[in-house]
Structure 1
Amino acid sequence: MTTDLSAPNVPQSEGSTTTAGRGKRPRPPFGVSTVSLLAVLIALFSLIPLGYVLYMTAATGWDTVVDLIVRPRVGELLLNTVLLMVFTVPLCLGLGVGGAWLVERTRLRGHRWWAVLLAAPLAIPAFVNSYSWVSAVPSLEGLWSGVLIATLSYFPLVYIPAAATLGRLDPAIEQSAASLGLGSWAVFFRVVLPQLRIAMTGGALLVALHLLAEYGAFAMIRFDTFTTAIMVQFQSTFNGTAGNMLASVLVLLCLLLLLAEVKSRGTARYARIGSGAQAKAIRLPLGAYQLPAQLALLALTVLAFGLPLWFVLKWVMAGGSDVWAAEELIPALSQTLMYGAAGALVTTVVAFPMAYLAVRHPSWFSKMLELSNYITSSLPGIVVGLAFVTVSIRVVPGVYQTAGVLIAAYVLLFLPRALVNIRAGLAQAPKELDEAAQSLGKTPLESFFKVTLRLTAPAAAGGAALVFLAIVNELTATLLLSPNGTRTLATEFWSKSSEIDYAGAAPYALLMILLSAPMTYLLFQQSKKVAGQ
């Protein structure tokens, strides 16, 4: 991600003065202490899953922990998980960066269409992708099948930030390198690629975390990972000690990935701070490579998006009108929309205090509070689900399997999606306007609602849309925490596909894709706006 160092322009009336950069910070709507207290409470709440893992590990006893972790089964799961990441992450990086470079830096015919099509696979949940591939090749199972499905499902997580970054990079550096005699490939590897480090490391982290968290896609092809093993343990022994220890290993892997991403990100900055307008990138001619590039992108799009959509539609047609039973579909759709909307709204509201503190009153304290949310959101849904199962049963048994607990889990899992967007919106809402409103007699609360909130609303809406998309496709935490009788599109799809009722599962898959498609397009467009396009 690049950084825009330009200060926002604040309109001034004749004879007025501005105190940009020197004025006092506007008072927050409820006072600094209240906003800080809310942010602290949110941070403490977000640490429940991590605290659960630490508590269960300590309560189990060191000898038992060693016996449960140092055993062949854990070694097998660790090997499967590591190999999955070793093969999948580089493939996603290659496809994501390669696709982004073709779309943004070459004279690729139809590059605007390809830009959208390469992001489209995000609209198809990984477990629906797996369902489609098993329909096409019933014998799929094991590591290489997992690598295939995961790569086709998650490469857009690298492509989208890489394309946005390439669109923002100042081509003057590339032109200078070319004028010094470097060829196109040398410019790419020595100039362009290093500037994609942040996008690549961030995308690789997202892919790796999704690999650790994914359950449905790998369970369907009978490939064992920590997440599938934990779910089996939970279903057989209901929160047994062995499952908790597997969860502790999974959490450790997540934390190691976060540390590795921070370490590999580096400290270099690629923002353009010079005067004058940024030059427009010169697209490189593909020449004889035009046809191979078109065929490669076509093959990738067909495998990642076309094939899953085709088999979903095929099963829908095979099932006929019987699979569209309103008494089953309407409750699942309505509850999905209800949980998605409620979770998105609550998550967006919860994100505001922390985002306000981080933007308007930045400090090491606000950074630490924000970091706590990122740590929790990196944990797989199954770990968050197990934490809420244990806490709700032991501490507040009356709330176990209630809608409130499920929405709380959604908030912890997807809070950063709203937080990042609200931070960007607040950063673009000049504090001078808030100061002016308060100087004209408005209370901090009035100025917040009439000025800051109105300017931040589009970014907040974008964050809410991304949270909604995540909730629609969430499976593991919903399976663990949903109240009895709850039917969502994801859980109903999983129930029917687990019974090999592929025709019955198809309408739920199709509805998830239809709900996810506009949100995926919004994510793609938002990344372009952040990149300054």
Structure 2
Amino acid sequence: MDTVRYGRWLVPALAGAIVAACLVPVGYVLWSAASVGPDEAYDFLVRPRIGELLWNTGRLMVGGVVLSVVFGVCGAWVVERTSLPLAGWWHGALCAPLAIPAFVNGYAWVATTHAVQSYPGTVLVVSLSYYPLVYLPTVAALRRLDPSLEEVAAALGRRPREVFTRVVLPALAPAVLGGALLVGLHLLAEYGALQLLNYPTLTTAILQQYGTAFNGPAATLLASVLLLACLGLLALEMLARGPAHRARVGSGTARPAPRTRLGRWTAPVVLGLGFFVALAVGLPAASLVRWLVKGASAELDLARMLPAAGTSIGLAAVAGLVATAAALPVVWQAVRRRSSWSLGVERAAYTTSALPGVVVALALVTVAISWLPGLYQTLPLLVAAYVILFLPRALVAVRGVLELVPPRLEEVALTLGQSRAGAMRRVTLPLLLPGLVTATALVALAVSTELTATLLLAPIGTTTLATEFWSEASAVAYGAAAPYALALVLLAVPATVLLGRSSRGEAR
């Protein structure tokens, strides 16, 4: 009995401790913002420039999320539910943008044409970078969907369009909403790509306040506005998701879903997909190769690149594993012991991800200097920043799988004599494995390309491919930056392949 009672308290205690650690930067923002007088804060926030930044941030988030959802859902449906030739190859091509960091994509487009330095151009570039966050979970959901549900709807006289809107889309909603939430959070905190695209938002203004005006309180006032935007985004996602439980026993009929025959639309669809892939992958790759070959300042300095690559790989692997382990108790508490408290704890874990990396880094620097001086300028502190920033990626991936694992399976294992630990090890964890692998890969991808927190928290002499790239790209040395950009892409390829295979294999 004591063991069971201990187990019941262990998970919520772990979840609460993890989320409390993630909220340290939020506390720092509120504390710093509170140091500004009410009148001064009001005068600062009602400036026309703040209104312009809010407008830019809001319309970028709306445009980027909507376009990413359109790209992701349409791409997933064409690949998984039509007679598209070479569907497996197209799936890999649509996953490929995951291997191209957003700031590298922005660099490649700006180095090709400055016409993208506008609102439409910025929305297009960020959507081409982030739509795989919607595409991958949508593919996985389509492959898990029992085709008999669609067949029954068709037998009841529903037209194909009605079947899609009334049966398929509601089943895809959790996956699409989770992906859209990640896209929105990334857009709120995006800096590198937007700086290169010359598109001012709250995040770029925060970095400018810290870097040029040295105005910490003003920057944290802007960060508090970002927090409010994040809370609004989380509320919208929760409202759209609703309280429905979607777990089921079994995976439905063990057969592929019927595919819609494209017929005379095959050639236009293939051409359209080819053009889309050319924009998302072909143009950035061609731009990188062009600057690598023709850039006057391009030099392949292996003595500088190899240590940076090794550091990037090590940090990505460690942070990916730690973030996935941290996501497990939080998601377990939210899904298995659903309550307003547990859901609130899970939602709270998302709030920090809307903050720019520099704000999270400064919060951790303040805490380390004041209370934990031994952690200052160490790799563990940098890994902690990565986990705080990218925990939502792991939460979305793990939750998407755990919601489909029925609690009855564990209850049956308990009635057969298994302990709770044994039921978890022999029943639940094997079913969760695809989500855990996906979570680790998603976080590792983000960590390998993280920029602002790394610049501030990395120990002296420690560099990554992202920081080396930025030092050259920010100086407009496109040729010198190209080798590091290409190395970042190559480094991300294994995780991208793993994610692509995982998304198509979850339904097997």
Query: TM-score normalised to the size of structure 1?
Result: 0.84
* Closer/same/farther in 2, CA of residues 462 and 185 from structure 1, 3 Å limit: closer
* 1:465 matches 2:441: yes
Deviations, residues 2-26 of structure 1 (Å, cap 9, x unaligned): xxxxxxxxxxxxxxxxxxxxxx897
* 1:479 matches 2:455: yes
Unaligned segments of structure 1, at least 5 residues:
1-23
Q: What residue is the counterpart of 2:25 in the other structure?
A: 49
Classify the secondary structure of the residue corresponding to 2:490: helix
- Counting only pairs closer than 5 Å after superposition, residues 47-446 of structure 1 correspond to structure 2 as 47-238=23-214, 240-268=216-244, 277=253, 280-319=256-295, 323-351=299-327, 353-354=329-330, 365-396=341-372, 399-419=375-395, 424=401, 430=410
Classify the secondary structure of the residue corresponding to 1:471: helix
User: Aligned partners of 1:217, 1:108: CA distance in 2, in Å?
Assistant: 33
Structure 1 residue identity aligned to 2:308 = A
Tell me the C-alpha RMSD between the 2 structures.
3.4
Shift of 1:133: 0.7
* Closer/same/farther in 2, CA of residues 294 and 234 from structure 1, 3 Å limit: same
User: Aligned partners of 1:360, 1:93: CA distance in 2, in Å?
Assistant: 28
Aligned partners of 1:146 and 1:218 also within 8 Å: yes
Shift of 1:124: 0.5
User: Aligned partners of 1:438, 1:283: CA distance in 2, in Å?
Assistant: 42
Shift of 1:438: 7.7
User: Aligned partners of 2:117, 2:126: CA distance in 1, in Å?
Assistant: 13
Classify the secondary structure of the residue corresponding to 1:162: helix
Structure 1 residue identity aligned to 2:204 = T
Aligned partners of 2:327 and 2:398 also within 8 Å: yes
Aligned partners of 1:209 and 1:380 also within 8 Å: no
User: Aligned partners of 2:110, 2:319: CA distance in 1, in Å?
Assistant: 32
* Closer/same/farther in 2, CA of residues 214 and 104 from structure 1, 3 Å limit: same
Structure 2 residue identity aligned to 1:332 = A
Structure 2 residue identity aligned to 1:476 = T
* Closer/same/farther in 2, CA of residues 495 and 284 from structure 1, 3 Å limit: same
Bigger drift between 489-498 and 474-483 goes to 474-483
Aligned partners of 2:413 and 2:423 also within 8 Å: no
User: Aligned partners of 2:315, 2:502: CA distance in 1, in Å?
Assistant: 24
Structure 2 residue identity aligned to 1:230 = I
Aligned partners of 1:46 and 1:373 also within 8 Å: yes
Aligned partners of 1:215 and 1:227 also within 8 Å: yes
Classify the secondary structure of the residue corresponding to 2:299: helix
Shift of 1:151: 1.6
Structure 2 residue identity aligned to 1:310 = A
Classify the secondary structure of the residue corresponding to 1:130: helix
Structure 2 residue identity aligned to 1:281 = A
Q: Percent identity?
A: 47
How many aligned positions are there? 503
Aligned partners of 2:99 and 2:489 also within 8 Å: yes
User: Aligned partners of 1:459, 1:162: CA distance in 2, in Å?
Assistant: 14
Bigger drift between 214-223 and 204-213 goes to 204-213
Aligned partners of 1:213 and 1:382 also within 8 Å: no
User: Aligned partners of 2:12, 2:74: CA distance in 1, in Å?
Assistant: 43
* Closer/same/farther in 2, CA of residues 505 and 25 from structure 1, 3 Å limit: farther
Classify the secondary structure of the residue corresponding to 2:146: coil
Classify the secondary structure of the residue corresponding to 1:323: coil
Structure 2 residue identity aligned to 1:199 = A
Shift of 1:47: 1.1
Larger radius of gyration: 1
* Closer/same/farther in 2, CA of residues 199 and 418 from structure 1, 3 Å limit: closer
* Closer/same/farther in 2, CA of residues 275 and 509 from structure 1, 3 Å limit: closer
Shift of 1:87: 2.4
Bigger drift between 461-470 and 63-72 goes to 461-470
* Closer/same/farther in 2, CA of residues 290 and 235 from structure 1, 3 Å limit: same
Deviations, residues 277-299 of structure 1 (Å, cap 9, x unaligned): 36642211111111110011001
Q: Determine which structure has the larger helix proportion and give its number.
A: 2
Aligned partners of 1:25 and 1:431 also within 8 Å: no
